[in-house]
Amino acid sequence: MTAESPALGDADASAGDTDIPPIEVSDLSVSFGDVPVVSGVDLRVERGSLVGLVGPNGAGKTTVLRAIKGTLSPDAGEVRLDGDPAESLSAREAGRRVAGVPQETSLAFDFRVRQIVEMGRTPHLGRFDGHGPDDERAVREAMDAAGVERFADRAITEVSGGERQRVLLARALAQETASLLLDEPTASLDVNHAVRTLELVRELVDGGRAALAAIHDLDMAARYCDEIVVLANGGVRAAGPPETVLTADALRDAFDAEAFVGESPATGSPTVTAFDAGDEGALADSPDSADPADSRRVHVVGSGRPAGRAVARLAAAGHAVSVGVVPEGDAAAGVAADADAPVVTAPPFAAVPSERRDEAVALARAADVTAAVGKAGRAGDELGSNMAVLDASDRIVRVDDTFGDGDLLDAVRESDEADTSGR
């Protein structure tokens, strides 16, 4: 796969009225037998846009992609490709508008890699036509872009799972459609090829194509997609730019997961850290885990990575967290900023100004419980003001630097069942 891929014949991508979305799904419902899988799904993918379809296993992502591709018939609703109802299009015409990279990559027959990529040209061939120069160019460019040329003459049964996935990508690219549907395009790929694949899709999209990709890796989805559609519990739960859709609340709602959403310092896009809520999670006991009654105001005292982890874990579990006093630039301060948690900082290696100490004391007073992490407030703690913060706290729970995920949440949950304010 080349970083700078060739133009990949984008003639079709620029075709048509630019106001008409290449993919538009309205009120789509699909069931298998009498089991409904999705209902009322609306989504559109514009030219120049990569939309990520995320959601838990079995949410119906593949089902939606298959309905768009036309390989299953919806019970209700409509799929439009370039403005035309998909059901009014012949298979050949649909194949000139949308190409798919399926999740299932087992190909039983002993075709050569090159033959499989050539199959992408089928919708462009007349009934009695052989491949012409344009087809050969499209196949060559697609193989080059997907990086499969090296094993083009090998049997498909003799390449690895990841290589096979790239062959199917090459087949879709050879189809030269305005729209691409990708079902877990990076699932079997090593990190290098995963990034290259999404960079390639991004490049195609920036060239005017439309792409809809089911993606489990939320960090990758956030990094590459213009928009994310969250599919869960039979329908679309949220849709919009990654930074508005990938929130702890949305992830709890869709995945029943406790997750902290920060900002990647490398890419600036949202990055998701999921925690094991287990049976012990503060809010994991019931599907109503977001119940505000279970949420506490927790003030964290401590610094460095352990305090940062405490802030992330508590915020992921739905608690309202504040932090301080921590040195400016401390890891915990960065996590608090990502969590939109109030944080009091002070210049490092200097006495804490009294007004900063008072701010932290006020936060601790307003909290239900103060979590002292590591040596905070104990002998050797360089921030003497932590003592004042702890003195102002009605309830204190203590965890050491190596606390387990459940320990902190248990301690906070149980803090109002016993007087834990002993210092």
Q: Rule CB under 6 A: is residue 57 a binding residue for ligand ATP? A: yes
Pick between residue 59 and residue 399 the one whose CB is nearest to ligand ATP. 59
The verdict on whether omega for the bond into residue 311 sits within 30 degrees of 0, i.e. cis, is no
Q: Which residues between 267 and 296 bind ligand ATP (CB under 6 A)?
A: none
Q: 41 - beta bridge partners?
A: 28
Q: Rule CB under 6 A: is residue 235 a binding residue for ligand ATP? A: no
Binding segment for ligand ATP (CB under 6 A), chosen from 58-66, 119-127, 252-260, 329-337, is 58-66
Pick between residue 57 and residue 402 the one whose CB is nearest to ligand ATP. 57
Quote the distance between the C-alpha of residue 356 and its chain's center.
37
CB of 23 to ligand ATP, least distance (A): 17
Q: Contacts with ligand ATP: how many residues (CB under 6 A)?
A: 10
CA distance 48 to 27: 23
Tell me if residue 337 falls in helix, strand or coil. Answer: helix
Binder of ligand ATP out of 54, 59, 139, 169 (CB under 6 A):
59
CB of 55 to ligand ATP, least distance (A): 6
Pick between residue 59 and residue 388 the one whose CB is nearest to ligand ATP. 59
Q: Which of 268, 290, 313 is nearest to 409 (CA)?
A: 313
Q: Which of 336, 74, 47, 264 is nearest to 177 (CA)?
A: 47
236 DSSP 8-state letter: E
Q: Which residues between 61 and 90 bind ligand ATP (CB under 6 A)?
A: 61-63
Binding mask 321-350 for ligand ATP (x = CB under 6 A): ------------------------------
Binding segment for ligand ATP (CB under 6 A), chosen from 9-17, 53-61, 319-327, 360-368, is 53-61
- 58: buried, middle or exposed (CB in 10 Å: 19+, 13-18, 0-12)? exposed
CB of 214 to ligand ATP, least distance (A): 6
CB of 231 to ligand ATP, least distance (A): 7
Pick between residue 71 and residue 264 the one whose CB is nearest to ligand ATP. 71
Binder of ligand ATP out of 6, 7, 11, 32 (CB under 6 A):
32
Q: 214 - beta bridge partners?
A: 53, 183
CB of 240 to ligand ATP, least distance (A): 20
214 DSSP 8-state letter: E
Residue in this structure with the two tokens 């869960």, named with its chain if needed: 232
Binder of ligand ATP out of 58, 132, 329, 347 (CB under 6 A):
58
Pick between residue 220 and residue 314 the one whose CB is nearest to ligand ATP. 220
CA distance 414 to 408: 10
Pick between residue 58 and residue 161 the one whose CB is nearest to ligand ATP. 58
Binding segment for ligand ATP (CB under 6 A), chosen from 50-58, 166-174, 367-375, 402-410, is 50-58
Binder of ligand ATP out of 22, 52, 60, 235 (CB under 6 A):
60
Q: Are 301 and 376 in contact (CB under 8 A)?
A: yes
Please report the beta strands in 203-296, taking only residues with DSSP state E, as ranges in sequence order: 210-214, 227-232, 235-240, 258-263, 270-275
CB atoms within 10 A of CB 114: 19
CB of 34 to ligand ATP, least distance (A): 11
Residues 6 or more apart whose CB falls under 8 angstroms from that of 361 comprise 388, 389, 392
Residues 6 or more apart whose CB falls under 8 angstroms from that of 109 comprise 156
CA distance 176 to 96: 7
Binder of ligand ATP out of 1, 13, 37, 301 (CB under 6 A):
37
Q: 229 - beta bridge partners?
A: 53, 239
CB of 103 to ligand ATP, least distance (A): 6
Tally: H helices and E strands in the chain: 14, 17
Helices (H), 61-160: 61-69, 91-97, 113-119, 133-146
Pick between residue 54 and residue 198 the one whose CB is nearest to ligand ATP. 54
Binding mask 109-138 for ligand ATP (x = CB under 6 A): ------------------------------
Contact footprint for ligand ATP (CB under 6 A): 32, 37, 55, 57-63
